Structure 1
Amino acid sequence: MIKQLKFIIYTRPFICFIYYFVRLYSATFRLKVENEKSWQAMLNGNQPVILVTWHQQFFSAIRHFKKYARYHPGLMISRSRDGELISAVARRSGWHTPRGSSSRGGKEAMAEMIAHLNTHGFGAHILDGPTGPIGKVKPGIIKMALQTNAVLVPFFTDADRAWFFNSWDRFMLPKPFARVRLRFSDPIHICDKENENFEDLRDRLEKTMLPGLHRQTR
C-alpha cells in the first residue's frame, strides 16, 4: 500500500495537481512585496543576481516567483524524492533546476548552476537546504557568487498567521488569507579579498541572514 502511494505521489498527474494546488492556495495570501525593483534594475543592467533565503521560507514565494520566468532563473534542487516533486513544480513555474546536493550529485549540479548563471545571470539558492542544520549557510553559495560575479540578494517571508512544522527547518506555511510579506534586502557583494578567506565570507553571509530566521515551533 505504501509503495503504491509513493508511486502515485510522483506521477505526472499528481505533480500537476500539486502545482495547481500550490498556486491556488498561495493565491489566498494577501501578499506585499518590498524592495523588488532595486535588484531587478541591477539584473536589467547585466549584473548577475542570486536571490538567497532560508529553507523554511521558500513556500510563500513560489507563486510570485513565476513572474521571474522571463529572466530564465536557475535553482539547485536535491536528487531526493521530495526534491523531484519540488523540481517539477519549479520547472512548471519557468525555473531551470540543476539536481544535486552535498550528499549526492552536488559537484555536477554546482557546475551546471554556475554555467547557467554565467549565461542568464539570474538564479536563487536555499542557503541551509536541503537537510540543514537550520540557519547554517552551506559554502556552495560562496563558490557560486565568486565564479559568476553575482551579487546576493537576501529575501525573507513572514506572515501574520502561519503554521510552523516540527521539522528540521521549522517550515513555515502561512494560513489561508494570511497577510504575507516578501521582503528583499540590500544586495551583498561577495569579493575575494586578500584579508577575507572563504570561511570568513560564509560566516559574514550567515550573520547577515540570521536575523530573518523564524524560530517558532507552534
Structure 2
Amino acid sequence: MAKKAKANPFLMWVLGWAGPAYINLVKWTTKREVIGEDILDRLQRGEEGYIVAFWHSRLLMMVPMRQTYEGRRFWFMISEHRDGDMIARAVEHFDISFARGSTMNERKKDKKKGGADAFRTLLKALKDGEAVGLTPDGPRGPRQRCHAGVAQLARLSGAKVYPVGYASKRAKLLDSWDRFHLPLPFTKGCYVFGEGISVTGDGPEAMEASRLEIEAALNHVTRIADETMGHEPVAPAEQRAVRQDR
C-alpha cells in the first residue's frame, strides 16, 4: 500500500498563521450582503441537523460563516490527501471539526480513502442535531458537478441540504480545476442561501434525481452570487459520468 504523501512542514507552519490571518482580513474588510437571510435565520433558530453545501471553489469564505451557526458543532469533510492536511491547518482556528475522507472514486475502487468512516461520523453528527459543510464536487471534481454522497447522507440522516453560494466583488479567479474564487480584502461580498432540499426517495433513479436537484440548486445560488458581484458566472465542467457512492 502506498504511503500517503505528507505536506511540507514549513508550508504547514505558514498556513497555520497565514491562512487564518488572511481569512480574517477578508472577513473584517468586506461589506457583507446576504440573499436569503430568512433561510439563514431559520437555520440559526432550528434544532435539527442540516447540511450546508457549497462548491469547492467557494470554500475559503464559508469558513468564517461557521461563527454564524453558534450553539452547535460544525463539521467539514475534507480529504485524507495532503491537500486536506493543508486545508485543515489553515482553518483549524475557526472551531471546525473535521471528518477525514472523500467520496469513492469509481476508477480507484480499491482505495476507500476513509470515506466510510467519515460518512458514519457525519451521519451521527446530523442525527445529533449538528451541522455539516460539504463541497459536493470535491476534492478533485469535475467542477460544479455534484457527487452522489451528499444526497445519500441527506437521505439516511433525514437532514435537509441547503445550497449556499458566495462571491466577492474584488477576487482573483485561479487557474485550478475548480476555478477557485479567491476573494481580496477591502471589497463587497455576497452570500446566497437557497431553500433546503429533502432527499426522501430510494433507488438509483430517485437518488440521481436528488443529486441533479442539488447540483442545479448549487449552480443557481452560485450564479446569483457571481452576477450580484458583477462577475461572469463560472460554467460547470463538461458533463461526464459523475462517480457514485455504493
Residues 56 and 139, structure 2, Cα contact 8 Å, conserved in 1:
yes
Which AA in structure 2 matches 1:7?
Answer: P
Residues 18 and 90, structure 2, Cα contact 8 Å, conserved in 1:
no
**Which residue in the other structure is 1:215 paired with?**
234
Residues 66 and 74, structure 2, Cα contact 8 Å, conserved in 1:
no
Residues 32 and 190, structure 2, Cα contact 8 Å, conserved in 1:
yes
- Residues 1:102 and 2:113 are matched in the alignment: no
Identity of aligned residues (%): 23
Which AA in structure 2 matches 1:64?
Answer: M
Offset of residue 194 of structure 1? 7.5
Alignment of 1:38-117 (within 5 A): 38-42=39-43, 44-102=45-103, 104-117=113-126
Offset of residue 34 of structure 1? 2.9
Cα distance in structure 2, aligned partners of 1:107 and 1:142: 15
Aligned length: 211
Alignment of 1:178-217 (within 5 A): 178-192=187-201, 197-211=206-220, 212-213=222-223, 214-215=233-234
1:33-61 Cα distance to aligned partner (Å, 9 max, x none)? 23244344256333321111111112123
- SS of match in other structure, 2:53: strand
The TM-score normalised by the length of structure 1 is 0.86
Unmatched runs of 5 consecutive residues or more in structure 2: 1-6, 105-112, 224-232, 236-246
Cα distance in structure 1, aligned partners of 2:86 and 2:71: 22
Q: CA RMSD in A?
A: 2.3
Which AA in structure 1 matches 2:190?
Answer: R
1:87-106 Cα distance to aligned partner (Å, 9 max, x none)? 23443211111000135111
Residues 77 and 101, structure 2, Cα contact 8 Å, conserved in 1:
yes
**Which residue in the other structure is 1:9 paired with?**
11
Unmatched runs of 5 consecutive residues or more in structure 1: none
Which AA in structure 1 matches 2:114?
Answer: G
Aligned CA distance change for structure 1 residues 14 and 207 (closer, same or farther; 3 Å): closer
**Which residue in the other structure is 1:21 paired with?**
22
Cα distance in structure 2, aligned partners of 1:134 and 1:49: 23
Residues 167 and 191, structure 2, Cα contact 8 Å, conserved in 1:
yes
Aligned CA distance change for structure 1 residues 140 and 195 (closer, same or farther; 3 Å): closer
Which AA in structure 2 matches 1:121?
Answer: E
Which AA in structure 1 matches 2:124?
Answer: A
1:104-133 Cα distance to aligned partner (Å, 9 max, x none)? 111111111111111133111111011101
Which AA in structure 1 matches 2:210?
Answer: L
Cα distance in structure 2, aligned partners of 1:50 and 1:37: 17
Offset of residue 22 of structure 1? 2.2
Aligned CA distance change for structure 1 residues 20 and 196 (closer, same or farther; 3 Å): same
Residues 146 and 192, structure 1, Cα contact 8 Å, conserved in 2:
yes
Instruction: State which drifts further: 188-197 or 199-208.
Output: 188-197
- Residues 1:161 and 2:170 are matched in the alignment: yes
